[in-house]
Amino acid sequence: MHRLRQILAIARVAYLENLRKQVLQVTLILTIAAIGSTTLLSFFDVGVQIKILKDLSLAAILFCGGVLAVVLSAGNIPGEILTHTVYPVLARAVRRSDYVLGRYLGAMATAALCMALLAVVFLGILAVYEKTFDGAVALGMLFILIEVAVVAAIGTLFSLFVSPLVAGTLTIGVFILGQIKISFLHGAIERSASPAGSLLLKGLYAALPNLDCFSFKDALVHNIAVPPSYMGIVALYGLVYCAFVLSVSGIAFARKDL
């Protein structure tokens, strides 16, 4: 109970720090503007317009989520080390792994708040067109949040080994390659003629998270039913991935010479 209180206190401070970041506010405003601008395509009939609205808005929200994950995770702990604010916290009886978890939860709380704001705007506009609340789209956005959580966990791990700039770049790389893992990398392995290239691609394939599994954009746009059991597997995969990466981050931070 005492440990949980410590983790939540660290998370609260991280959350309040993150809310002041300008890049977060700018990204949020631009994404809301992008979602709002899709309503200007009034020359299509309503059915097509709803499809375009869902497609572009979900792409914008995913992009915003990616930016949030990179911005919030890459500088989360190195920034604290740089400003020396980490030392008074660790001087108390706080486990280093708890500190990593607290900072990560603070970043995720900020990301969740941003996603909730975007969801309100997007679902509000959608409700005007469809004349009903689209629960499937809300569920789809929850999976985008899980994807953001996975990317942020990876960014947190990278930030413990390299500088924030390099960690951010690597996280962007993982975010982009993870999106095309099944749709592109799988085919590239099959098409690869050289054994060395194939081995390299297989290694990359095994190391990358399956981020494209979190995207149900096509199903939401074309109203295709997705088996609930599959969604359960994907959600479990995301949560276990986060838990594993954060555990490794906790060990890395515990062994780090501060």
Partner 1 sequence: MRDSARSLVHRAAAAAAALTVALAAPAAAHEEHEHLPHHWESPGVRGELTGQTGILLLGWLAAAGTGRLLARKERERC
Q: Rule CB under 8 A: which residues touch partner 1?
A: 22-23, 26-27, 30-31, 34, 55-56, 59-60, 62-63, 67, 95, 97, 182-183, 210, 212-213, 216-219, 222, 224, 226-227, 230-231, 233-234, 236-237, 240-241, 243-244, 247-248, 250-251, 254-255
Distance of CA 69 to the CA centre of its chain: 5
Q: Contact 208/183 with Cβ under 8 angstroms? A: no
Q: How far is the CB of 60 from partner 1 (least distance, A)?
A: 6
Q: Closer CB to partner 1, residue 133 or residue 184?
A: 184
State how far the Cα of 6 lies from the Cα of 2, in Å rounded to an integer.
6
Q: How far is the CB of 198 from partner 1 (least distance, A)?
A: 18
**C-alpha to C-alpha distances, 18 to 65, 77, 103, 104, 214, nearest whole angstrom:** 14, 12, 10, 11, 25
Q: How far is the CB of 68 from partner 1 (least distance, A)?
A: 12
Q: How far is the CB of 85 from partner 1 (least distance, A)?
A: 21
HSE at residue 20, side-chain half, CA atoms within 13 A, is 4
Q: How far is the CB of 77 from partner 1 (least distance, A)?
A: 16
Q: Closer CB to partner 1, residue 127 or residue 233?
A: 233
At how many degrees (to 10) do helices 96-130 and 135-159 cross? 150
Q: Pull the structure tokens for residue 253.
A: 């931070």
Q: Closer CB to partner 1, residue 194 or residue 249?
A: 249
Helices and strands (DSSP H and E) totals, the chain? 12, 0
Q: Closer CB to partner 1, residue 133 or residue 183?
A: 183
Q: Closer CB to partner 1, residue 145 or residue 150?
A: 150
Q: How far is the CB of 228 from partner 1 (least distance, A)?
A: 10
Q: Pull the structure tokens for residue 204.
A: 């990359």
Q: Pull the structure tokens for residue 83.
A: 């400003």
Q: Closer CB to partner 1, residue 15 or residue 217?
A: 217
State how far the Cα of 32 lies from the Cα of 64, in Å rounded to an integer.
10
